[in-house]
Amino acid sequence: MREPSYLRLYREGKLQDRIDRAVEMTRDCSLCPRECHIDRLSRELGFCRTGEKAKVASLHAHFGEESPLVGRGGSGTIFFMSCNLLCYFCQNYDISHDAGGGEVGPEELADMMLSLQKRGCHNINFVTPSHVVPQILQALFSAVERGLNVPLVYNTGGYDKVETLEILEDVFDIYMPDFKFWEARWSEKFCKAPDYRKIAAAAIKEMHRQVGDLAIDAAGIAEKGLLVRHLVMPNDVSNTKEVMTFLADKISEDTYVNVMDQYHPCGKATLDPAINRRLTRKEYVEAIRLTREAGLHRLDSRR
């Protein structure tokens, strides 16, 4: 098994510097593109409604993730509460839009990471981590000292600042962003983020610069690299052709992609005629065709 990059960062004494830089960004919070400029260390709350401590909804060995993450032992997922996008159709609406309870300190979060490793999980998969980067780094320091040695997965909605991602270089070996939308009218309507395409495109370029295309070992387990998720939505709200063309032309034709077919109306989506129904088989087959037509060939086998 390839050694996770963060172990070298720790041995070289550089991990603490990353923690300090991330924590400092929360004093006048500019961790994510929302740039709320509030002091989270004084328990002020911005868009993500998260203060000094992370909030965890659940953790478990997940066997429904992408094939290279799951293997035999599963992906060790830690689901954080709230989010910096708060899509009103979120498939985990009860977690992302719930602002109460679940606070954990660095030692508790480290315990969670180590417990998932002990269960045999192949990685630690942080779900919606963009707003809790400092908390993850603080917990990682403790977890490393206590024996953590599996890769970390940054499982994000794609709305990430390049400056924050630069702090995470050599911390995360696997980046797994969504690329949700291409057109600003949809990202503004459903996420209040008209700049989503610009932000996600820059973030994915930075992620690929750091880790490259997804590398998979002989046992079929991801070791390092980029894996992109794209949730196909009704009426082409997700702009599949444009997203896949970008990935093939601007990132790599060897980008590993999960073209997801599980959209169903959640949260407030039932109120919107554009997305108030499930995806049809015809729409999904067309999305796969457009993905291959763009030049992408590494599609997740669980599609």
pLDDT in tens, 219-248: 999 999 999 999 999 999 999 999 999 999
- Supply the pLDDT for residue 269: 87
Residue 109 to residues 49, 115, 127, 168, 286, Cα–Cα distance (Å)? 19, 10, 13, 18, 41
Length of the chain: 303
CATH code of the domain in which 195 resides? 3.20.20.70
Instruction: Kindly indicate the confidence band of residue 208, based on its pLDDT and cuts at 50, 70 and 90.
Output: very high
* Mean pLDDT on 267-283: 93
pTM (whole model) above 0.85: yes
Report how far residue 240's alpha carbon sits from residue 23's, in angstroms, rounded to the nearest whole number.
Answer: 36
Instruction: Residue 46: give the domain boundaries.
Output: 5-299
Instruction: Kindly indicate the confidence band of residue 100, based on its pLDDT and cuts at 50, 70 and 90.
Output: low
pLDDT of 206 > 70? The answer is: yes
pLDDT in tens, 48-91: 999 999 999 999 999 999 999 999 999 999 999 999 999 888 87
- Supply the pLDDT for residue 91: 78
- Supply the pLDDT for residue 94: 73
User: What total of structural domains would you count in the chain?
Assistant: 1
pLDDT of 9 > 80? The answer is: yes
Calculate Rg over the CA atoms of the chain: 18
- Look at residues 62, 61, 35 and name the one whose alpha carbon lies nearest to residue 47: 35
pLDDT in tens, 16-55: 999 999 999 999 999 999 999 999 999 899 999 999 999 9
